[in-house]
Structure 1
Amino acid sequence: MQPRWLSAQEQRTWRSFSDLSLVLEDALDRQLRHDAGMSHLNYSVLVFLSEAPEQRLRMTDLAENLRIARTRLSYTIARMEEEGWVRREESPGDRRAQLAVLTEAGMTALEEAAPGHVALVRSVVFDRLTPEQARAFGEACAIVLAGLTGPERPALAVDLPWRR
């Protein structure tokens, strides 16, 4: 079967998106490391835990929310425990599951990191787009993400990261 090559416009769009993904993730990570002493992944863990009921989530649910492999999350949580930002607890009613729990120090670290992070996101993304462009960008991202994670996603050689 002949591949469906990208058109010149599709290739430009794809490369712009690919470059954006790499450079944006690097910029977010560098800003957070410089200003708050944490990685973008650490920040994301703190955000999800801060928004969770009782500021705790099952590790498997947290991995899914972060879209990362459970082994990577386990390593990340171990490092964050050393900082005092999170702790692990056994899950009541399921001895096989563990919970990640946000500590007071973790909430303080998040509150201190958030203003700089939001300022960067606003300056590099939302201040450069009209409200209509921002809405369309969000919709396009959601459509592409659903194609990779939703029920109609293509059969891939490996499973989604959080199921590995």
Structure 2
Amino acid sequence: MYRMYRPRAIFAFFLVLAFWFLLSGNFSIYNLILGAAVSFVTVLFFLNYLLHQPVRPIGFLGYMRKLILVILFVPVFIFQAYKASLQVLKLIFFPSKISPGIVRIKTDAPTVSAVSMLANLITLTPGTITLDYDDEGNHYYIHWIQVTTHDREEMREIIIGAFEPWINRIFG
């Protein structure tokens, strides 16, 4: 393994191991050994995908910075999803006020991974589903259950305003 790629593999190992513990909820020594083995095999299996030459190597500390940003972003996403859930719940109880539509939102996501992550976050947020992405114009086409405005900047702020700055920092 090339030296410049080692931080990426180590970071991926610990990320997969953390995910293992998150899913299992068991912190016994047996589960630690099993999780480490599964994480190691998983990283080995995906070595060709994880270890391609980065555009600009960021090192182990760079990956730790990104991990901290992801951890800080999780409560932001949970809050936005909760807020959107309450809005959808309101529409369930008062269905006459539903105003669905397909909207086009421009994004400034810096990488393909950022575009994909932002699309997933939009879809995971209740009331919105990402339908398509136009890579030439950097636009998402989103089904929005409650179109409250027709101003593009307001739509952008409502749908991706809380997510995009975080995603740009994480993937930028």
Choose 1 or 2 for highest CA Rg: 2
Q: TM-score, normalised by structure 1?
A: 0.29
